[in-house]
Amino acid sequence: MIAQVKKGDFTKDKEHYIVIYDKDKKGNFKVHDPNSLQNSEKTWDFDTLEKQITHLWAYTVL
């Protein structure tokens, strides 16, 4: 999924895009943040992400 996120953990001043690409065994999400390797290496719980997501797009490979 592609998520547009507002000011928070991923950006301090303007909206930004991340890719949510997997979930771990605990149910936390793995993201790819093109601006931060540190953010990409952690997992994120639903509540933290939900508060920051302004738009979300899901896609599949046909």
Structural domain containing residue 25: 2-57
Number of domains in the chain: 1
Q: pTM of the predicted model, to two decimals?
A: 0.89
According to the model, what pLDDT value does residue 62 have?
Answer: 84
Let me know if residue 15 belongs to a domain: yes
For residue 34, being part of any structural domain is answered with yes
Residue 62 counted as domain residue: no
Give the pLDDT of residue 28: 99
Contact 26, 45 (CB under 8 A): no
In a domain, 51, yes or no: yes
Ordered mean pLDDT values, 10 residues apiece, the chain (62 residues): 97 94 98 97 98 96 84
User: pLDDT value at position 1?
Assistant: 97
- Whether residue 50 is contained in a domain is answered as yes
Length of the chain, in residues: 62
Q: Which residues lie across from 56 on neighbouring strands?
A: 3
> What pLDDT was estimated at residue 60?
87
Residue 13 is assigned to a structural domain of this protein: yes
- Look at residue 13 in the predicted model and tell me its pLDDT: 87
With respect to residue 37, please indicate whether it lies within any of the assigned structural domains. Answer: yes
